[in-house]
Chain A
Amino acid sequence: MSPERESHRRARTLLEALGAEESAWPDAERQSILSELAESDVLKVLRTQEQTLDEWLNQSSVTASLDAQAVALQISQSHAQKPALEVRLGTVLERVADLVAFGSWRSPVAASVTLSVGVALGTLVYVPSEDWSNAEQYSFTVIGEE
Protein backbone atom coordinates (compact mmCIF):
# COMPACT_ATOMS: atom_id res chain seq x y z
CA MET A 1 0.00 0.00 0.00
CA SER A 2 1.36 3.45 -0.90
CA PRO A 3 2.20 5.85 1.94
CA GLU A 4 -0.67 8.14 0.84
CA ARG A 5 -3.20 5.29 0.94
CA GLU A 6 -1.81 4.13 4.29
CA SER A 7 -2.08 7.64 5.73
CA HIS A 8 -5.67 7.96 4.45
CA ARG A 9 -6.59 4.56 5.89
CA ARG A 10 -5.03 5.46 9.23
CA ALA A 11 -6.94 8.76 9.39
CA ARG A 12 -10.18 6.91 8.67
CA THR A 13 -9.48 4.32 11.38
CA LEU A 14 -8.75 6.99 13.98
CA LEU A 15 -11.86 8.98 13.05
CA GLU A 16 -13.99 5.86 13.34
CA ALA A 17 -12.33 4.84 16.61
CA LEU A 18 -11.96 8.15 18.41
CA GLY A 19 -14.59 10.41 16.87
CA ALA A 20 -14.59 13.86 15.36
CA GLU A 21 -13.09 15.82 18.23
CA GLU A 22 -9.47 16.81 17.55
CA SER A 23 -8.51 16.62 21.23
CA ALA A 24 -9.38 12.91 21.23
CA TRP A 25 -6.82 12.10 18.56
CA PRO A 26 -3.27 11.07 19.47
CA ASP A 27 -0.94 14.08 19.56
CA ALA A 28 1.55 12.39 17.27
CA GLU A 29 -1.07 11.75 14.56
CA ARG A 30 -3.27 14.84 14.79
CA GLN A 31 -1.50 16.80 12.06
CA SER A 32 -1.55 13.86 9.68
CA ILE A 33 -5.30 13.39 10.20
CA LEU A 34 -5.96 17.09 9.58
CA SER A 35 -3.92 16.96 6.36
CA GLU A 36 -5.89 13.95 5.14
CA LEU A 37 -9.16 15.63 6.08
CA ALA A 38 -8.25 18.72 4.07
CA GLU A 39 -7.80 16.62 0.94
CA SER A 40 -10.57 14.04 1.22
CA ASP A 41 -14.30 14.63 0.87
CA VAL A 42 -14.95 11.08 2.05
CA LEU A 43 -13.19 11.79 5.32
CA LYS A 44 -15.09 15.08 5.71
CA VAL A 45 -18.41 13.24 5.43
CA LEU A 46 -17.15 10.62 7.88
CA ARG A 47 -16.15 13.32 10.35
CA THR A 48 -19.63 14.84 10.18
CA GLN A 49 -21.16 11.44 10.96
CA GLU A 50 -18.78 10.94 13.85
CA GLN A 51 -19.64 14.42 15.14
CA THR A 52 -23.33 13.46 15.28
CA LEU A 53 -22.43 10.34 17.24
CA ASP A 54 -20.22 12.36 19.60
CA GLU A 55 -23.11 14.74 20.30
CA TRP A 56 -25.34 11.78 21.06
CA LEU A 57 -22.72 10.20 23.34
CA ASN A 58 -22.44 13.51 25.21
CA GLN A 59 -26.07 13.20 26.30
CA SER A 60 -25.26 10.30 28.64
CA SER A 61 -26.41 11.28 32.11
CA VAL A 62 -24.74 8.74 34.40
CA THR A 63 -23.52 10.41 37.58
CA ALA A 64 -21.83 9.28 40.78
CA SER A 65 -23.95 8.99 43.91
CA LEU A 66 -21.57 7.83 46.64
CA ASP A 67 -20.32 10.24 49.31
CA ALA A 68 -16.53 10.05 48.94
CA GLN A 69 -15.82 11.43 52.40
CA ALA A 70 -18.12 8.90 54.08
CA VAL A 71 -16.68 6.02 52.06
CA ALA A 72 -13.10 6.99 52.94
CA LEU A 73 -13.95 7.30 56.62
CA GLN A 74 -15.86 4.04 56.76
CA ILE A 75 -13.13 2.03 54.99
CA SER A 76 -10.14 3.48 56.82
CA GLN A 77 -11.78 3.03 60.23
CA SER A 78 -13.14 -0.46 59.78
CA HIS A 79 -10.43 -2.20 57.72
CA ALA A 80 -6.80 -2.89 58.58
CA GLN A 81 -4.17 -2.34 55.93
CA LYS A 82 -2.60 -5.43 54.37
CA PRO A 83 0.92 -4.68 53.20
CA ALA A 84 2.57 -7.07 50.75
CA LEU A 85 4.52 -10.09 52.00
CA GLU A 86 7.92 -8.53 51.26
CA VAL A 87 6.98 -5.40 53.21
CA ARG A 88 5.82 -7.47 56.20
CA LEU A 89 8.94 -9.63 56.02
CA GLY A 90 11.11 -6.51 55.86
CA THR A 91 9.43 -5.13 58.96
CA VAL A 92 9.96 -8.37 60.89
CA LEU A 93 13.64 -8.49 59.86
CA GLU A 94 14.12 -4.87 60.91
CA ARG A 95 12.70 -5.66 64.35
CA VAL A 96 14.94 -8.71 64.72
CA ALA A 97 17.95 -6.64 63.66
CA ASP A 98 17.05 -3.96 66.22
CA LEU A 99 16.73 -6.53 68.98
CA VAL A 100 20.07 -8.12 68.14
CA ALA A 101 21.80 -4.77 67.86
CA PHE A 102 20.52 -3.16 71.06
CA GLY A 103 19.37 -5.97 73.35
CA SER A 104 21.21 -6.86 76.58
CA TRP A 105 21.23 -10.50 75.52
CA ARG A 106 23.07 -9.73 72.29
CA SER A 107 26.15 -11.84 73.15
CA PRO A 108 24.32 -15.08 74.02
CA VAL A 109 22.18 -14.74 70.90
CA ALA A 110 25.23 -14.08 68.72
CA ALA A 111 27.00 -17.10 70.23
CA SER A 112 24.03 -19.41 69.78
CA VAL A 113 23.47 -18.21 66.22
CA THR A 114 27.15 -18.85 65.43
CA LEU A 115 26.98 -22.30 67.01
CA SER A 116 23.78 -23.12 65.14
CA VAL A 117 25.29 -22.04 61.84
CA GLY A 118 28.40 -24.11 62.55
CA VAL A 119 26.38 -27.22 63.37
CA ALA A 120 24.22 -26.71 60.30
CA LEU A 121 27.24 -26.29 58.04
CA GLY A 122 28.99 -29.28 59.60
CA THR A 123 25.95 -31.44 59.06
CA LEU A 124 25.79 -30.42 55.44
CA VAL A 125 29.50 -30.62 54.61
CA TYR A 126 30.77 -33.64 56.65
CA VAL A 127 30.07 -37.00 55.09
CA PRO A 128 30.95 -39.90 57.44
CA SER A 129 32.80 -42.76 55.71
CA GLU A 130 34.49 -45.96 56.84
CA ASP A 131 38.01 -46.79 55.60
CA TRP A 132 38.95 -50.44 56.10
CA SER A 133 41.97 -50.45 53.76
CA ASN A 134 44.57 -50.62 56.58
CA ALA A 135 42.67 -52.88 58.92
CA GLU A 136 43.97 -56.33 59.83
CA GLN A 137 42.00 -59.18 58.47
CA TYR A 138 40.80 -61.95 60.73
CA SER A 139 39.13 -65.14 59.92
CA PHE A 140 37.16 -67.19 62.37
CA THR A 141 36.65 -70.86 62.28
CA VAL A 142 34.29 -72.66 64.55
CA ILE A 143 36.22 -75.58 66.09
CA GLY A 144 34.72 -78.76 67.21
CA GLU A 145 31.68 -78.95 65.10
CA GLU A 146 32.99 -81.82 63.00
Chain B
Amino acid sequence: MVSDESALVARVCQGDRRAYADLVARHLPAVEVYARRILGDEYLAQDVAQDVMLVLWQRSDRFKPEKSRLTTWLHRIAHNRCIDLLRKPGHKTLEDAYEPAAQPSNTQETPGAASIDAALCELPESQRTALVLTYYQNFTNREVALIMSSSVRAVESLLCRARGNLKKYLETDQ
Protein backbone atom coordinates (compact mmCIF):
# COMPACT_ATOMS: atom_id res chain seq x y z
CA MET B 1 0.00 0.00 0.00
CA VAL B 2 2.75 2.43 1.01
CA SER B 3 5.01 1.63 -1.95
CA ASP B 4 1.90 1.69 -4.13
CA GLU B 5 1.13 5.20 -2.91
CA SER B 6 4.74 6.27 -3.36
CA ALA B 7 4.52 5.15 -6.97
CA LEU B 8 1.26 7.05 -7.41
CA VAL B 9 2.80 10.19 -5.90
CA ALA B 10 5.77 9.84 -8.26
CA ARG B 11 3.31 9.70 -11.16
CA VAL B 12 1.48 12.77 -9.84
CA CYS B 13 4.84 14.60 -9.83
CA GLN B 14 5.00 13.86 -13.55
CA GLY B 15 1.53 15.35 -14.04
CA ASP B 16 -0.44 12.07 -14.20
CA ARG B 17 -4.07 13.10 -13.63
CA ARG B 18 -5.34 9.53 -13.25
CA ALA B 19 -2.90 8.81 -10.43
CA TYR B 20 -3.92 12.08 -8.81
CA ALA B 21 -7.62 11.21 -9.03
CA ASP B 22 -6.86 7.85 -7.43
CA LEU B 23 -5.07 9.49 -4.49
CA VAL B 24 -7.80 12.10 -4.05
CA ALA B 25 -10.45 9.37 -3.94
CA ARG B 26 -8.45 7.59 -1.21
CA HIS B 27 -7.64 10.59 0.98
CA LEU B 28 -10.13 13.42 0.45
CA PRO B 29 -12.95 11.96 2.62
CA ALA B 30 -10.68 11.39 5.63
CA VAL B 31 -9.13 14.85 5.38
CA GLU B 32 -12.54 16.51 5.03
CA VAL B 33 -13.98 14.66 8.03
CA TYR B 34 -10.90 15.49 10.09
CA ALA B 35 -11.14 19.21 9.25
CA ARG B 36 -14.84 19.23 10.00
CA ARG B 37 -14.30 17.71 13.44
CA ILE B 38 -11.56 20.24 14.22
CA LEU B 39 -13.27 23.34 12.81
CA GLY B 40 -16.89 22.39 13.49
CA ASP B 41 -17.88 23.97 10.17
CA GLU B 42 -18.82 22.04 7.05
CA TYR B 43 -17.87 24.71 4.49
CA LEU B 44 -14.57 25.66 6.07
CA ALA B 45 -13.73 21.96 6.27
CA GLN B 46 -14.46 21.58 2.55
CA ASP B 47 -12.15 24.52 1.81
CA VAL B 48 -9.38 22.98 3.89
CA ALA B 49 -9.81 19.57 2.27
CA GLN B 50 -9.64 21.05 -1.23
CA ASP B 51 -6.66 23.16 -0.23
CA VAL B 52 -4.84 20.03 0.94
CA MET B 53 -5.64 18.25 -2.31
CA LEU B 54 -4.30 21.27 -4.22
CA VAL B 55 -1.01 20.94 -2.32
CA LEU B 56 -0.97 17.25 -3.27
CA TRP B 57 -1.28 18.26 -6.93
CA GLN B 58 1.13 21.17 -6.94
CA ARG B 59 3.75 20.16 -4.37
CA SER B 60 3.71 16.38 -4.27
CA ASP B 61 7.49 16.37 -4.78
CA ARG B 62 7.77 17.59 -1.18
CA PHE B 63 6.32 14.33 0.15
CA LYS B 64 9.09 12.08 1.51
CA PRO B 65 7.84 8.47 1.68
CA GLU B 66 10.80 7.43 3.81
CA LYS B 67 9.69 9.83 6.54
CA SER B 68 5.94 9.23 6.79
CA ARG B 69 2.84 7.75 5.19
CA LEU B 70 1.05 9.93 2.65
CA THR B 71 -2.00 10.20 4.89
CA THR B 72 0.21 11.50 7.72
CA TRP B 73 1.69 14.16 5.42
CA LEU B 74 -1.76 15.22 4.20
CA HIS B 75 -3.17 15.39 7.73
CA ARG B 76 -0.20 17.47 8.82
CA ILE B 77 -1.01 20.00 6.08
CA ALA B 78 -4.69 19.90 7.06
CA HIS B 79 -3.78 20.39 10.72
CA ASN B 80 -1.71 23.49 9.88
CA ARG B 81 -4.51 24.91 7.73
CA CYS B 82 -7.02 24.35 10.53
CA ILE B 83 -4.74 26.08 13.04
CA ASP B 84 -4.38 29.03 10.65
CA LEU B 85 -8.16 29.30 10.39
CA LEU B 86 -8.69 29.02 14.14
CA ARG B 87 -6.18 31.83 14.67
CA LYS B 88 -7.81 34.14 12.15
CA PRO B 89 -9.48 37.20 13.64
CA GLY B 90 -13.19 36.68 13.86
CA HIS B 91 -12.86 32.95 14.35
CA LYS B 92 -12.73 31.25 17.72
CA THR B 93 -9.39 32.33 19.22
CA LEU B 94 -6.86 29.96 20.76
CA GLU B 95 -7.41 31.63 24.13
CA ASP B 96 -11.07 30.67 23.89
CA ALA B 97 -10.14 27.24 22.68
CA TYR B 98 -7.86 26.57 25.64
CA GLU B 99 -10.61 27.13 28.16
CA PRO B 100 -11.56 23.95 30.03
CA ALA B 101 -14.24 21.80 28.46
CA ALA B 102 -17.51 23.50 29.10
CA GLN B 103 -20.61 22.07 30.67
CA PRO B 104 -23.09 20.52 28.26
CA SER B 105 -25.46 22.95 26.62
CA ASN B 106 -29.10 22.80 27.55
CA THR B 107 -30.11 21.86 24.02
CA GLN B 108 -28.41 18.44 24.30
CA GLU B 109 -30.91 16.37 26.24
CA THR B 110 -29.57 12.90 25.55
CA PRO B 111 -26.14 11.62 24.63
CA GLY B 112 -25.96 10.80 20.96
CA ALA B 113 -24.32 11.79 17.71
CA ALA B 114 -25.11 15.49 18.02
CA SER B 115 -24.13 15.44 21.67
CA ILE B 116 -20.71 13.87 21.12
CA ASP B 117 -19.95 16.19 18.19
CA ALA B 118 -20.90 19.19 20.33
CA ALA B 119 -18.77 17.89 23.19
CA LEU B 120 -15.79 17.44 20.84
CA CYS B 121 -16.13 21.03 19.63
CA GLU B 122 -15.95 22.27 23.20
CA LEU B 123 -12.65 20.56 23.93
CA PRO B 124 -9.53 22.73 23.74
CA GLU B 125 -8.13 22.62 20.21
CA SER B 126 -5.00 20.60 21.02
CA GLN B 127 -6.95 17.97 23.00
CA ARG B 128 -9.56 17.74 20.24
CA THR B 129 -6.87 17.34 17.58
CA ALA B 130 -5.06 14.58 19.48
CA LEU B 131 -8.32 12.71 20.15
CA VAL B 132 -9.67 13.01 16.61
CA LEU B 133 -6.39 11.93 15.03
CA THR B 134 -6.04 8.94 17.35
CA TYR B 135 -9.61 7.77 17.75
CA TYR B 136 -11.28 8.64 14.45
CA GLN B 137 -8.38 8.87 11.99
CA ASN B 138 -6.61 5.82 13.48
CA PHE B 139 -3.12 7.29 13.67
CA THR B 140 -0.57 5.92 16.10
CA ASN B 141 0.62 8.18 18.91
CA ARG B 142 3.93 8.57 17.10
CA GLU B 143 2.17 9.74 13.92
CA VAL B 144 -0.05 12.11 15.91
CA ALA B 145 3.07 13.58 17.48
CA LEU B 146 4.52 14.09 14.00
CA ILE B 147 1.36 15.79 12.74
CA MET B 148 1.12 18.04 15.78
CA SER B 149 4.89 18.73 15.96
CA SER B 150 4.88 17.39 19.48
CA SER B 151 6.23 14.44 21.49
CA VAL B 152 4.58 11.08 22.07
CA ARG B 153 4.37 11.76 25.81
CA ALA B 154 2.71 15.11 25.20
CA VAL B 155 0.18 13.45 22.91
CA GLU B 156 -0.62 10.81 25.55
CA SER B 157 -1.12 13.56 28.09
CA LEU B 158 -3.46 15.45 25.74
CA LEU B 159 -5.44 12.25 25.11
CA CYS B 160 -5.83 11.56 28.84
CA ARG B 161 -7.11 15.09 29.43
CA ALA B 162 -9.39 15.00 26.38
CA ARG B 163 -11.02 11.72 27.42
CA GLY B 164 -11.21 12.89 31.02
CA ASN B 165 -13.07 16.04 29.95
CA LEU B 166 -15.40 14.02 27.73
CA LYS B 167 -16.16 11.63 30.62
CA LYS B 168 -17.12 14.59 32.80
CA TYR B 169 -19.28 15.91 29.98
CA LEU B 170 -20.92 12.52 29.54
CA GLU B 171 -21.59 12.14 33.28
CA THR B 172 -23.16 15.61 33.46
CA ASP B 173 -25.13 14.98 30.29
CA GLN B 174 -26.71 11.80 31.66
A residues touching B (Cβ–Cβ < 8 Å)? Answer: 13-14, 16-19, 24, 26, 49-50, 52-53, 56-57, 59-66, 68-69, 71-73, 75-77, 79-84, 87
Contact = CB atoms under 8 A, between A and B. Distances in A.
For the complex of A and B, 7 pairs with smallest distance between CB atoms = A64-B29, A17-B159, A61-B113, A72-B24, A72-B21, A68-B25, A64-B32
Interface size class on chain B is 35 or more
Contacts of A68: 21, 24-25, 28-29
Tell me whether chain B's interface is mostly helix, strand or loop, or mixed: helix
B163 A16 contact: yes
A119 B109 CA distance: 85
6 contacts: A57-B136, A61-B117, A69-B25, A72-B20, A75-B24, A79-B58
Nearest to A63: B33
Contacts, number: 122
Given A57-B135, A75-B57, A62 B37 contact: yes
B30 to A, nearest CB: 8
A75 B50 contact: yes
Interface in B15-64: 15, 17, 20-21, 24-25, 28-30, 32-33, 36-37, 42, 46, 49-50, 53-54, 57-62
Contact of B54 (A18, A79, A83, A87): A79
